[in-house]
Amino acid sequence: MSNLTRRHFIGAATAAAALGPSLPAFAQAKRITIGTNPAGSIYYSLGGGMAKVLTEKMGVQAIVQPLAGSSVALPLVNAGELTSSLSSTLDTGAAYRGEGEYQGRAMKNLRSLVRIFSLPYTFTVRADSGIKTIADLKGKKVVMEFKALLGLKPMNEALIKAGGLQLSDVVPVSVGGLKQGLDAVADKTADASAVAAGIPMVQEMNASVPGGVRYLNVTGANATDEFMGRTLPGSSLMKLEPSARMPEVTEPVTIGTYDVFLVVGKDLSDADANKMTTILVDSWAELQKDYPALRPSKLEDLSRATNVVPYHPGAMAAYKVKKMWTAKNDEADKKVM
């Protein structure tokens, strides 16, 4: 185990701490580690839930390993020093292809296990700005880069193009992070900034800015899943409907989205990958009760063909047994191999 791995294990949350002696083991692994974002993040919370069901039903100790982010976790998974990690299709795809911050170090050992949930994402503006669609951003100041989250820049660019604009049509602004982007919009030093829909900081802004905020509609000939997938593998579009959970959404709006997968290394045994997949599928209804972020997903979404790295053979076998593997899955796997 590397020094990096040892450092990050310090303070890791152990889901099995209160479960007493070890349970009967049916898999080869003695321990399963799930890399997540830091404590307090949605990844950390979901990782804890998955660790709990895997510990209870797989017969091995499963623990959450909070890390700074996917850029730390994915190299450890690729090297076999971490069993698995939650990661977006944007980050996983870049790592697998050796692009962006992973330039020159393609991580070809990464494999998809289970698609966990989708993160809704789009540009946000002040509702009193009169800006309603991506196309309305022409000539406007738009936050296109977050220095602390460089992996989101390609998604921002893909949304601009899907909305029918060229990148040169907007005035790009660079800020430190998501909060700084929203502050710029609130202060009118920028017209728009992208963010995950429904997160607390957006809802706080919606409550504090006169008139609230608006998520921009992606419209036009390029507003298709096919265009998004070609422009940025792993991204797509979704329709967001008004709901009590998102008071800032007052009418249906088409926005961007990308999936979050549980990824593993290719050297994980087929037996372990199969068992992990089967348990998570069988426990999905239970997990949905405890974690609202999972509730929009249907069972068949767990094997969704939006993967940007190949599915692990053990996971593939599990999905075939459960009739959750389709021709679309075969096509997606061949495309990314």
Q: What mean pLDDT do residues 211-215 have?
A: 96
Q: Which domains does the chain have, with CATH numbers?
A: 3-118+259-336 (3.40.190.10), 120-258 (3.40.190.10)
Higher local confidence (pLDDT), 2 or 51? 51
- Give residue 212's pLDDT band: very low, low, confident or very high (50, 70, 90): very high
Q: What is the pLDDT of residue 41?
A: 76
Q: What is the pLDDT of residue 161?
A: 98
- For residue range 164-206, what is the model confidence (pLDDT) as tens digits? 999 999 999 999 888 899 999 999 999 999 998 888 889 899 9
Higher local confidence (pLDDT), 148 or 185? 185
Q: Is the pLDDT of residue 16 over 50?
A: no
- For residue range 96-113, what is the model confidence (pLDDT) as tens digits? 999 888 999 999 999 999
pTM: 0.75
Which amino acid is residue 117, in one-letter code?
F
Dist CA 96 CA 159 (whole Å): 22
Percentage of the residues of the chain whose pLDDT score is greater than 90? 71
Dist CA 118 CA 256 (whole Å): 10
Dist CA 92 CA 151 (whole Å): 10
Q: What mean pLDDT do residues 50-73 have?
A: 92
Q: Is the pLDDT of residue 26 over 50?
A: no
Residues forming a β-bridge with 120: 257
Dist CA 308 CA 245 (whole Å): 30
Q: What mean pLDDT do residues 128-138 have?
A: 98
Give how far the C-alpha of residue 280 lies from the chain's centroid of Cα atoms, to the nearest Å.
17
Dist CA 290 CA 147 (whole Å): 34
- Give residue 28's pLDDT band: very low, low, confident or very high (50, 70, 90): low
Whose structure tokens read 């289970």?
A: 114
Q: What mean pLDDT do residues 219-246 have?
A: 92
Q: Is the pLDDT of residue 302 over 80?
A: yes
Q: Is the pLDDT of residue 17 over 80?
A: no
Q: What mean pLDDT do residues 265-291 have?
A: 97
Q: What is the pLDDT of residue 245?
A: 83
Percentage of the residues of the chain whose pLDDT score is greater than 70? 91
